[in-house]
Amino acid sequence: MFEQIVDVPTKDGAMETFVCHPERGGPYPPVLFLMDAPGIREELYDMARRLATVGYYVLLPNLYYRAGRDTKYGPDVLDKGSAEQARMRAVRTKMTIPPVMDDVAALIAHADQQKASKKGPVGTHGYCMSGPYSLAAAARYPDRIAAAGSFYGTWLVSDAVESPHLTLGKAKGELYISCAEHDELAPPDMVKELKVLFDRSGNPGELEVHPGVHHGFAFPQRWCYDKPAAERHWERLIALYRRRLG
């Protein structure tokens, strides 16, 4: 595997991005791996590596870069009331969709300039807070985003600017929306509403609710990690990218 950390230029600064891809056989289709709220950590690097090994040029950006370099947090970021969680939330609560769409454009432009990255269709998937970003990107850049996944995306139906529930019909790429049965950040009524809108959009993809699992089930170091559901998440994601990116 080849991997490095690069600064991707954006109009708001330098976005630190972990990039990995196989050593041989490229170029590879580019995939944007969008982080969850706790932010960049080794757990996400390992997930990016796993995806890259099956033949993708994976970019994992620190979406908190506008708040500075000191936006990586310790393991107690998940502990309610901890100092690290408070530090993270001070950044997280300022995040909105439109600036992240600019970041997506910058990532695509960067990938287009790399020899190891194949020109053409792009994939994107996000977890938790980035589920909405991934789906919104498919609508904002329909001629580039050929596949977009959301895994336990938070508040996919909201009054946010470019909320994905408003733009599902604009996506030309295939969408895959994965929800956990137990998720306070994507409650059942919201998922039901989203399913109606998704079906109405005519997108060829799927909205799937995974029974018996909790928000965060795909992360190996999370208390709620569920191995069967996590492996199903990999199967769904890789199959999506195989169909749409090659």
Per-residue pLDDT tens over the stretch 130-160: 999 999 999 999 999 999 999 999 999 999 9
> Helix/strand/coil (H, E, C) string of 95-126?
CCHHHHHHHHHHHHHHHHCCCCECCCCEEEEE
Contact 18, 60 (CB under 8 A): yes
DSSP letter assigned to residue 138: H
User: What Rg do the C-alpha atoms of the chain give, in angstroms?
Assistant: 17
Nearest to 102 by CA among 29, 5, 8, 6: 8
**What is the model's pLDDT at position 215?**
97
**What is the model's pLDDT at position 239?**
98
**What is the model's pLDDT at position 177?**
98
At residue 109 the predicted structure's pLDDT band, cuts being 50, 70 and 90, is very high
- The tokens describing 111, both together, are 């990938």
**What is the model's pLDDT at position 30?**
98
- The tokens describing 112, both together, are 């287009």
Coil/strand/helix, residue 48: helix
Other CB atoms within 10 Å distance of the CB of residue 82: 15
Per-residue pLDDT of 73-99, as tens digits, reads: 999 999 999 999 999 999 999 999 999
Per-residue pLDDT of 207-237, as tens digits, reads: 999 999 999 999 999 999 999 999 999 999 9
Q: Average of pLDDT values for 17-31?
A: 97
pTM of the model: 0.97
Q: Which residues of 190-227 are buried (b: 16+ CB within 10 A; e: fewer)?
A: bbeebeebbeebebebebebbeebbbbbbbeebeeebe
**What is the model's pLDDT at position 15?**
98
Name the E strands within the chain: 2-10, 13-21, 30-34, 57-61, 122-127, 145-151, 174-182, 206-214
Mean pLDDT of the chain: 97
Backbone phi and psi for residue 219, each to the nearest 5 degrees, phi listed first: -90, 120
**What is the model's pLDDT at position 17?**
98
**What is the model's pLDDT at position 112?**
98
Residues with Cβ within 8 Å of residue 177, at least 6 apart in sequence: 131, 135, 149, 150, 153, 156, 194, 198, 205, 206, 207, 208
- The tokens describing 77, both together, are 């970021």
**What is the model's pLDDT at position 25?**
92
Nearest to 175 by CA among 209, 143, 202, 214: 202
Coil/strand/helix, residue 176: strand
Q: Average of pLDDT values for 48-69?
A: 97
DSSP letter assigned to residue 16: E
